[in-house]
Structures are given as C-alpha cells and as structure tokens.
Structure 1
C-alpha cells in the first residue's frame, strides 16, 4: 500500500496529465471537500475543472519539488507552468487524509516575478 505522500503525489501527477477522473477514483473519499475559491467545494466540480484545464493546456509542465507527510496531512510543493512559455508558479497543495483517501484539499499558487530579489529563488 502506498504512503499518503506517494498517493498525494500520484494524484497530482495524474491530474496534471489530464487523468483527473482516474486520480479522483483512486484517491478521493466520498466526504471530499476542497478550498479552491474559484470553484464550488465538491469533488465533481473540481475534477471537471482539472479535466477542462488539461484539455485547454495540453503542454502543461508540473514538477514536484518536495513533499512532506505528517500523520493525516501531506504537503506538496511544486513548480508549474500552463505551457512552456508561461510564467513559473510555485504551488502548494495540502491534503488531509482519512485512511487512504483524500477528504480535504487546499491549494495555493504564487507567480514567479520577472525580477526576483531573493537570490535563492522559489524552488
């Protein structure tokens, strides 16, 4: 059985590849809710939005940088671009699990500025 950290990472990879239905079927629990302010808070709405985004942006670049697991919580820090010419985004997903299923999800993104003051970058 995969760890929660492995499940969260696989969920994100499948979603980025346009396989949101598979990701949700494998990893999302029936009591799922999310906190993305741009969509209704249910699983189906988010799954369809991810699916539509994959169709609109088939050349999406999604690279997991690091992941942390603490009891029922997993945090995944990623680098993301809608297409190769797009701005880099630092993205953080926080998953809450019950058993082996995701029941709650938060996501936050920050665009990389054109001029970065911090010499360490975002990744």
Structure 2
C-alpha cells in the first residue's frame, strides 16, 4: 500500500462520512494537524469531519492530483458542500511515518464563478 493510496483513501472515507474509520486505519499516534479552525489533535479533527458530513450529506469530493515525495504526500482536490456550490480547491499535505499519517496541513481557496484565469483551478 503506497502513501499516495493511503492519503487518497483517508480523504475519501472522511469526505463520505467515515472519519472514524479513516482515522482508525490510517492515522498514527501523536497525530497533529494545522487547520486554524480546530484544536490540533486527531479527535477534534475527526469529529469536525464527521459533523461536516452530517450537515452536508450531498458533499462531493474529487481528487485531481496526488504527489509523493519521500514521507510527504500532497493531494489537490475539488470539494463541494452541495451540488449547487462552486466549492473549494483544496490542497492536503500529509506527513507519514512508515504507513501512518502523523501530520496534516490543509489549504483551501473558493472556486470563483468568474475567474480572470482562463486555465481554471483544476
């Protein structure tokens, strides 16, 4: 199982309302994250992901790129909370020890209805 696969499966499970399973399978001890909106521990983030799935049952999550470099994996994706929502371009950066996620950064940018950039965000 590659780190790219683990990162992808973690995000898919979390986005589809299975954050407990995602954390159980793929997150290591002493996990920490850097999302500015939540405390930096695993339980807080897991519960926030669970709440997001519960309040946004029609959420869609599409991965566009996955890059692996040593113990780091970056995932570029499109997250939409509802079908009508333009969503966010999101980048998750995972740090691994062996085959477990031990650190996570996530950055997002809203998708614009009208962009000056003809190349789009994806």
The residue number in structure 1 matching 2:18 is: 19
- CA RMSD, aligned part only? 0.5
Matches within 5 A, 1:100-115: 100-115=99-114
TM-score relative to the length of structure 1: 0.98
Question: What secondary structure, in the 3-state scheme, does the structure 1 residue paired with 2:104 have?
Answer: strand
The residue number in structure 2 matching 1:87 is: 86
TM-score relative to the length of structure 2: 0.98
The residue number in structure 2 matching 1:58 is: 57
How many residues are treated as equivalent by the alignment? Answer: 122
Structure 2: 5+ residue runs without aligned partners?
A: none
The residue number in structure 1 matching 2:40 is: 41
Q: Provide the rounded CA distance (Å) in 2 between the counterparts of 1:113 and 1:84.
A: 15
Confirm whether residue 29 of structure 1 aligns to residue 28 of structure 2.
yes
Q: Provide the rounded CA distance (Å) in 2 between the counterparts of 1:112 and 1:60.
A: 15
Structure 1: 5+ residue runs without aligned partners?
A: none
Which runs of at least 4 in structure 1 moved beyond 2 Å after TM superposition?
Answer: none
Q: Provide the rounded CA distance (Å) in 1 between the counterparts of 2:112 and 2:3.
A: 32
